[in-house]
Structure 1
Amino acid sequence: MSKKTTCLASLAFMIFSFNLFAQREADKKITFENKIEDLFFHEFSAVPIILTDKTVAGIDPSTGTKIWEIEGDRFSALGGALQEDKENYQMVPYSPYIIVDELLVDTRDGKIILNKENNYKSITSFNLIPEIKSYLIQCKTDDKEVNKFFLVDLSANKTKWEQALNLDKKGTIDNISISNSNTIALTVGSNLIILNSNTGDIVLNEEEKIGAIYQNPQGNTYYAVEAASGGLGSMMGAAITMNANKLMALGDKIYAFDAATGEQKWKKPLKLDEGFLFSEEVDGKMFVQHEKGGNVYDYSSGEPLWKRVFEKRKINDIEKNAEGYMVYYGSRKMQLDNNGKELWKKPQYQGNSFLENLAEDDSYDEFEYKDGSIIATSYRIAYYQKDVKKPIWKMAADEDTKIAYDANEKNLIVLDGKNLYIINPDKGLTDDNKQKLQLKKHRDFNLMEVRGDNYFLSSPWEYVIVDKKGTIIKTNYFEQPGESGRKWLNTLSAVGSVAGAAYQVSGLYNAGMGGTSAAAETLTGVVPPGTGSFNQANKGVKQHQAGYYGQMASEALYNPNRLNAFSDSKDYAFYFTKDDSGTKYLAQVSKNTGEEVDKFIFLDNKPNYHVDQVEKRVFYTNGKEAYIFDYK
């Protein structure tokens, strides 16, 4: 997360004029008493943070002044010299906070929310609880068997309560869930814990190796799923969601606990045939999918309601209807009665008969057109006309194939190795759909953006601009001065990084959650085909940007106008590179034309800088000076 700090010999803002470079001074400069060790940008509060060996400070980029500064000898990682393998700060996502040398600090005004006067040794982990607009923070103490937990109220900007807990084994906060009974359930290592959310009082603290926690619709019962062997299940990607393609199996036992008292509600746990994958509420009943199939259970008793397990490994969804239950798996669906008996002799297909070509376990993306659909799997992209089982057009896909989608034009953009296809059956399928690209590192492309009549596809060090017919307008590869430059640049090219808090607060930052938004229509990831990224909803995922949290979160910005600025912030890409003479610089590239509109010169392979594309500024440090450049 942290950027490694080295000295910058110089930085200049450059423009082309008769092939000569003109140089200008920074717009603002801030001087510190000690050498600057680190510069980073708090993406949520939008405050630049400067770390020296004696102080940590937040600065106002519009005026070039310090907002706040905390002094002390504690901020140097090792006697004034930064340890390259140690992070000396940590941002707390979806909040205005940072953790620096075991202090929890509000970056907007420098207020210290937690410090060691609260009798802890170090901050171990934290977890957002959006329903109550709070963070639960875990801290180590001098007693190895005791951890302290603090609930920080984000609205009040202070600690609501603290609680000491005995732990059987080391661990961090996981599987957190809050009930309608004013309790919080969580796991830490091999401990299952239930706390009163208002007071922090301990309701339950016992040794149970748990890999997932979920609730009934009433929110008065916690269901705790046994961890996988070794207790690693919850760390390997399991989640309470219908997206079974991304799940790892947990254990085969489910326990029920009263959310208010912590008492077990069943005499014995619910025993599954195989390892647990996910659970979903269906018409007031509990559907549970394990590795071999699924069944419906009564939430209160844990008794199965189907006489037998529906044995399909990849169930995507289940719905209650007049006949019983409609179960969807892969591209197929089957009607069951209320007892789980199959009512059809063979499955039907979700959409058209061409889906019969897919195996039961295939995940896929479907793109619908006037006369048919494109079906993209990990091994093939094909266009099928309605009610026709064989494709009229197809191409093979492999690990080099990536896709993006322009929903407005209904264009499917396929990057297959160094070949680019723009496919739209409504406009015809011909050999003209294919263009050969001279790309250096095609596997690294990760972003596609609609720019008017063109597409801008990019990686951390390369881009290509094509029109919507696939004609290449411009492409360029930026040679990297060193591995460190590659690391910095990757953070600039990642989806969502340029917007920071603007994405998080407004709900646009929704990576991995299947969300869509105005931004998502113009800015999409370039991903492998067949992942279900474009058409398979992830149920049961609680989004931190939901209504009860979003309004409060928006108030966490130091500059609230930043949200309005986001719509005009995506005109440029930035690439750290070097020219033929070896001069190292940050290139500011127009996404519309590919023109290098400005150059920021660096004389070091590991420059300490940040580009804020929302408010259009470049920050960098050199010695005791922090410089701010404004750009248009």
Structure 2
Amino acid sequence: MKNYLLTILLAFSCLFSSAQQNPDWSFPIEGKEKQIFVHNFTGITVLETTKFYYGLDPVNKTKLWEIPKDATNEALNTASNVSSMAGADVGLDKFAKKSWDPIPNSPLVSIDQQLVNVTTGEVLVSNGSYKEVLKSNFIATAFTSVIEVVTEDNIRKLYNIDLNTKKVVWESNLGKYSTAAQLANKSSSIPSTALTPKTTKNGDLLYKEKKDLILFDGKSGQEKWRLECNPGSFFLNEAEDIVVVVEAPSGLKAASSYKPKLTKKIMSVNLSNGKPLWKKPIKLEDNFIDAQVVNADEFLVNFGSGINIYEFKSGDQRWKKSYKAKNVKTINQKGDELEVFYSNKVMMVSAESGSEIWKKPIKFDMDEDIEGGVIKKEYDQGILMVHGSGVGFYNKETGKKKWFAKVETDKVAFNDAKNIVAVLDKKKLYLFNPNEVVKKLDKLKLDINKPDEMVAFNILDNGYFLRGLNEYLTLDKDGNVLGQAYYKQLKTDRLLKAALAASSIGMNVASTGGSYGFFMSPEMAEAAGDISDIQSEALGKLYDQSALRGNSQESKLYAYFMEGIKSEEGASLEFVKVEKASGKEVNRINVGQNRKVIYKILPMQSMLYAVVDGKLNAYILD
């Protein structure tokens, strides 16, 4: 501990004073330093100057790579920012392009119109090949990233990148589009998840392009066929020789944050030639919500006000009359039975006949037309229901309510490894194991400063640790507060933008294992639950491949914060180290008043980076 404190004290006291402490390692940089930040997916730290992006390597104690910036684009961005701050819009932003544009769910970044592997600095697509990235998709089954760009001469181009080799497999031109068409595509209200490209067993790629559905050859990128069908969603049968297409509404009308608003029309297409299998599209009784494959020949459709089962080849429906129910949320296939969750009820339905099996449904104590997400989780002793207005626990067999808490559920976190659920309702916290609650859900009334900024909780040997962006609470097993603090920020301090925001959740937002749990709204938690095992496994594999060697996990013992202090002597920044178990501060260090120094504290790597006298200096904190 004393070595830790000595290193910290020397590093900070000397870094921000006239005397200088020798860093653990450093290297010279070119250009004026701008910011130090962390690439969200890989965890790699990047220094940006006016001339370069530098990837930092704490393992080999040097720069990992350097990518020169486009001087013209840098000048345009700088001039645009200056004119904007001066309140004079001279239109330079129309010419400036994004200099750093990460590709979601991948180690890829677009740097000044070139695709770069951020783990190595290798350029996959050279400068000048495109002017802007329009959209991208991670395809779990193929372990590829499909990236759509637009070129300087207004041609859309598609890159298919193998994430095993980090190489471009093929590229294909999609055609020329007007600026208006590009804008409509980028501002589409349909979430990308509804139209994620799909690969077939032989590696071919199904892709939605404007109002067309295209099948690309998986090896060459050549178009096998193109069908105009205005796809809003599409899915394959088990044999992957048929694709069912759901038509999008004209003009891409309103959609929720997570689920698209689609039409009543569906059609079936022969994958080998792109020809429709049915004489005309089927018109459902209500707008399509979602679907799932039942067997090799049939698929089940939820159209909101009911469900039915259809044949892939003929379009014939299994039941003469659809099973009708109000606000169908989810359907679980259980052998020859379907568990239909609708409104505030659950009913078992015969998959053979579409008739109800139970005499009456399980009715949950919640509004029938509840807005937002509804989470339904099964535990050993019952079924837990969480939504925006309450939390309830019910008998699996009878549906009888065991207990219900009328709670305005702002955020919820699940730790499946420990069977612990945490629910935030403003400044009240419900922390419980659903299997162990008898009749009443006990609440803890806590003085949380910013409940909406709470991001995670840890299960400790002696209790719990709740962490927000700028505050923490340590609780014992009975919920008593052992320690708590909220660290105010200096709003005018530009360095705070790159302070400790990365200490929130990163890649683990949907994780529920180990001792950690992460707070999400019911809608977000419901969406995270929809991620398939294949997607989760593939993302985990990609993350493991991409993460920098030696990148440690978040400290099990400590949490780190930054606080802005105002006094008669002026404002200053202080670095704070908190012991989770005791809830006590174990170290507080004044890091000075020089707000022009660019620095970054990385608790995940036990590292402090700072730019001093034209060098990137690294200080090890342990």
TM-score, normalised with respect to structure 2: 0.80
Provide the rounded CA distance (Å) in 2 between the counterparts of 1:426 and 1:126. Answer: 42
SS, match of residue 30 in structure 2: coil
How far apart are 1:423 and its partner, in Å?
4.4
RCO comparison, higher one (Cα < 8 Å, 6+): 1
> What's 1:357 paired with?
365
* C-alpha contact (below 8 Å) 1:280/1:287 kept by paired residues: yes
Question: Do residues 139 (structure 1) and 145 (structure 2) align?
Answer: no
> What's 2:609 paired with?
619
How far apart are 1:600 and its partner, in Å?
6.3
* C-alpha contact (below 8 Å) 2:415/2:512 kept by paired residues: no
Q: Which residue of the other structure, out of 318, 332, 356, is the alignment partner of 2:346?
A: 332
| 1:46–1:471 distance in 2 versus 1, CA, 3 Å | closer
Q: Which residue of the other structure, out of 541, 546, 554, is the alignment partner of 2:532?
A: 541
| 1:356–1:113 distance in 2 versus 1, CA, 3 Å | closer
SS, match of residue 312 in structure 2: coil
Q: Which residue of the other structure, out of 221, 233, 243, is the alignment partner of 1:212?
A: 233
Provide the rounded CA distance (Å) in 2 between the counterparts of 1:537 and 1:158. Answer: 29
How far apart are 1:277 and its partner, in Å?
0.8
> What's 1:263 paired with?
275
> What's 1:575 paired with?
561
Question: Do residues 49 (structure 1) and 46 (structure 2) align?
Answer: yes
- The 5 Å alignment of 1:58-137 reads 58-71=55-68, 73-74=70-71, 77-78=74-75, 81=78, 87-116=98-127, 119-137=129-147
How far apart are 1:525 and its partner, in Å?
2.2
Provide the rounded CA distance (Å) in 2 between the counterparts of 1:492 and 1:167. Answer: 40
Q: 1:28-62 deviations in whole A, cap 9, x for unaligned?
A: 33321211223232344443222322223323223
| 1:71–1:538 distance in 2 versus 1, CA, 3 Å | closer
| 1:620–1:250 distance in 2 versus 1, CA, 3 Å | farther
> What's 1:378 paired with?
388
- The 5 Å alignment of 1:172-211 reads 174-211=195-232
Provide the rounded CA distance (Å) in 2 between the counterparts of 1:82 and 1:64. Answer: 35
Q: Which residue of the other structure, out of 252, 273, 276, is the alignment partner of 2:285?
A: 273
Provide the rounded CA distance (Å) in 2 between the counterparts of 1:197 and 1:31. Answer: 45
Provide the rounded CA distance (Å) in 1 between the counterparts of 2:117 and 2:435. Answer: 53
* C-alpha contact (below 8 Å) 2:304/2:329 kept by paired residues: no
Provide the rounded CA distance (Å) in 1 between the counterparts of 2:419 and 2:457. Answer: 14
| 1:217–1:74 distance in 2 versus 1, CA, 3 Å | farther
| 1:391–1:70 distance in 2 versus 1, CA, 3 Å | closer
Provide the rounded CA distance (Å) in 2 between the counterparts of 1:299 and 1:421. Answer: 47
| 1:164–1:368 distance in 2 versus 1, CA, 3 Å | closer
| 1:412–1:65 distance in 2 versus 1, CA, 3 Å | closer
Provide the rounded CA distance (Å) in 2 between the counterparts of 1:316 and 1:167. Answer: 40
Provide the rounded CA distance (Å) in 2 between the counterparts of 1:558 and 1:413. Answer: 32
The one-letter code matched in structure 2 to 1:165 is: L
How far apart are 1:291 and its partner, in Å?
2.7
Provide the rounded CA distance (Å) in 2 between the counterparts of 1:283 and 1:341. Answer: 19
Provide the rounded CA distance (Å) in 1 between the counterparts of 2:67 and 2:266. Answer: 48
> What's 2:513 paired with?
517
The one-letter code matched in structure 1 to 2:280 is: K
SS, match of residue 152 in structure 1: strand
| 1:281–1:539 distance in 2 versus 1, CA, 3 Å | farther
Q: Report which stretch shifted further, 50-59 or 387-396.
A: 387-396
Provide the rounded CA distance (Å) in 2 between the counterparts of 1:14 and 1:525. Answer: 32
Gaps of 5+ in 1: 1-10, 16-21, 238-245, 350-354, 498-502, 504-508
Provide the rounded CA distance (Å) in 2 between the counterparts of 1:152 and 1:405. Answer: 35
> What's 2:580 paired with?
591
How far apart are 1:140 and its partner, in Å?
1.4
- The aligned length equals 572
The one-letter code matched in structure 2 to 1:398 is: E
> What's 1:556 paired with?
546
Question: Do residues 150 (structure 1) and 159 (structure 2) align?
Answer: yes
SS, match of residue 81 in structure 1: helix
Provide the rounded CA distance (Å) in 1 between the counterparts of 2:314 and 2:441. Answer: 62
How far apart are 1:629 and its partner, in Å?
2.3
Provide the rounded CA distance (Å) in 1 between the counterparts of 2:417 and 2:496. Answer: 33
| 1:486–1:55 distance in 2 versus 1, CA, 3 Å | closer
| 1:543–1:396 distance in 2 versus 1, CA, 3 Å | same
> What's 2:3 paired with?
none
| 1:24–1:578 distance in 2 versus 1, CA, 3 Å | farther
* C-alpha contact (below 8 Å) 1:456/1:592 kept by paired residues: yes
| 1:577–1:225 distance in 2 versus 1, CA, 3 Å | same
Q: Report which stretch shifted further, 464-473 or 419-428.
A: 419-428
Provide the rounded CA distance (Å) in 1 between the counterparts of 2:339 and 2:496. Answer: 49
Q: Which residue of the other structure, out of 242, 261, 266, is the alignment partner of 1:221?
A: 242
What RMSD in Å do the two structures reach over aligned CA positions? 3.8
Provide the rounded CA distance (Å) in 2 between the counterparts of 1:527 and 1:162. Answer: 38
* C-alpha contact (below 8 Å) 2:116/2:124 kept by paired residues: yes
Q: 1:139-161 deviations in whole A, cap 9, x for unaligned?
A: 212433x3122222233332222
Q: Report which stretch shifted further, 476-485 or 616-625.
A: 616-625
| 1:375–1:214 distance in 2 versus 1, CA, 3 Å | closer
> What's 1:247 paired with?
259
How far apart are 1:223 and its partner, in Å?
1.8
How far apart are 1:470 and its partner, in Å?
0.8
| 1:580–1:480 distance in 2 versus 1, CA, 3 Å | same
* C-alpha contact (below 8 Å) 1:574/1:586 kept by paired residues: yes
How far apart are 1:444 and its partner, in Å?
2.8
How far apart are 1:623 and its partner, in Å?
6.7
TM-score, normalised with respect to structure 1: 0.79
| 1:427–1:188 distance in 2 versus 1, CA, 3 Å | closer
Provide the rounded CA distance (Å) in 1 between the counterparts of 2:412 and 2:478. Answer: 16
How far apart are 1:596 and its partner, in Å?
4.3
Provide the rounded CA distance (Å) in 2 between the counterparts of 1:407 and 1:129. Answer: 27
Question: Do residues 304 (structure 1) and 314 (structure 2) align?
Answer: no
Question: Do residues 450 (structure 1) and 464 (structure 2) align?
Answer: no
| 1:197–1:405 distance in 2 versus 1, CA, 3 Å | closer
> What's 1:439 paired with?
448
